[in-house]
Amino acid sequence: MINFGLNKLSKQQARTGLIFMMPWFIGFLIFGLYPMVMSVYYSLCRYDVLRIPQFIGFGNYEKLILEDPYFWTSISNTLVYTALRVPLCIIGSLLLAVLVNNAVRGVKFFRTVFFIPSIVTGVVLSVVWLWMFNPQFGLLNSFLAYMGISGPLWLLDPNWSKPSMVLMSVWSIGGGRMLVFLAALQGIPKHLYEAVDIDGGGWWAKFRNVTVPMISPVLFLWSVLEIIFSLQVFVEAYVMTQGGPLNSTMFYNLYLYNKAFNDFEMGYASALAWILMIISLIITIIQFRLSKNWVHYDGGAK
């Protein structure tokens, strides 16, 4: 009798469960699965949106890899940007987290102040820094001039344009990433540091042998995420440089956007999207492989 009642209840629950998750499922079919399949198909077609797609096999991929110099430029730009930005942002946020982990009076106030710039993202961030980077009247070169240094042309110099955009993202190191690192730091048991004290180790020994291993899972997770984000950089370049000067900030997604929505080469752009997906996947897999050497879970074995 009771069994029957429970059964009825669980059947009802199963039905309600399926109904309640439907919005996601329908959304996933329309905006996830179907587009994914279509994107593979488009990438094998010539497609300008106006006429129906025309199947050309691997033509887009061949053209991309063999004949398109911009493809390689955009890949190398994006990889350089990622290689500069990710270590700087992760290390910057970590050091800042260590700094605000000091229990001094008023440190909460500083945490708030450090967080504020990270609220500014996308277009506003780009517009504001466009002005900061102005070679003649911008804040950076005015400051450098005051110090007696003649500043670079920043975004207008092909050698400086990528480092400039990386520098701009350093402004946001006090944001969510720092908070997560801080929470991880606060979870490290005190006795581990005391053990280093007994062994006569200084702050570097503590940082190297306790702090970094103990929070390595969080550092690893954010390195994976930040690399994926960095490979997708778009708005900064679109607003600040349109890919210039001399294509030095023609990042992968900017190139993809131009191909798709300026030239309406949707098939070609879809092929570009899949190559980016594959590059991200390969880098992530390599990171997981390498993580076995340095990431410690539960403070125990590697």
Partner 1 sequence: MINPKAKTAVKNTLIYLTLTTFALFFVIPFLWILSTSLKGNEQIFVIPPQWIPSTFMWDNYAKVFERIPFLLYVKNSVFISLIVITGTVLSSSIVAYSFACLNWPGRNALFVVVLASMMLPMQVTMIPVFVIFKEIGWLNSFKPLTLPAFLGGGAFNIFLLRQFFLSIPRDLLDSARIDGCSEFRIYWNIVLPNAKPALATVSILTFMFTWNDFLGPLIYLSDQAKGTIALGLGMFVGQYVTEWSLLMAASMLMMLPMLIIFFVFQKYFIQGFIMSGLKD
Q: Give, as ranges, the residues between 69 and 98 that touch partner 1 (CB under 8 A).
A: 96
Answer yes or no whether residue 117 interacts with partner 1 by CB under 8 A: yes
Query: For residue 174, which of 131, 102, 119, 227 has the smallest C-alpha distance?
Result: 119
Residue range at the interface with partner 1 (CB under 8 A); choices 54-62, 78-86, 118-126, 156-164: 118-126
Q: Where are the beta strands (DSSP E) in 111-217?
A: none
Contact 183, 111 (CB under 8 A): no
Answer yes or no whether residue 145 interacts with partner 1 by CB under 8 A: yes
Answer yes or no whether residue 146 interacts with partner 1 by CB under 8 A: yes
Residue range at the interface with partner 1 (CB under 8 A); choices 64-72, 151-159, 206-214, 215-223: 215-223
Matching residue, tokens 């497609």: 47
Residue range at the interface with partner 1 (CB under 8 A); choices 65-73, 103-111, 189-197, 285-293: 103-111
Answer yes or no whether residue 179 interacts with partner 1 by CB under 8 A: yes
Q: How far is CA 285 from CA 17, 270, 280, in A?
A: 34, 23, 9
Answer yes or no whether residue 17 interacts with partner 1 by CB under 8 A: yes
Answer yes or no whether residue 253 interacts with partner 1 by CB under 8 A: yes
Q: How far apart are CA 119 and CA 105, in angstroms?
A: 25
Contact 231, 276 (CB under 8 A): yes
Q: How many residues bind partner 1 (CB under 8 A)?
A: 90
Helix, strand or coil, per DSSP, at residue 54? strand
Answer yes or no whether residue 246 interacts with partner 1 by CB under 8 A: no
Encoding tokens for residue 209? 């042998």
In the complex, what is the shortest distance from the CB of residue 51 to partner 1, in angstroms, rounded to a whole number? 12
In the complex, what is the shortest distance from the CB of residue 81 to partner 1, in angstroms, rounded to a whole number? 16
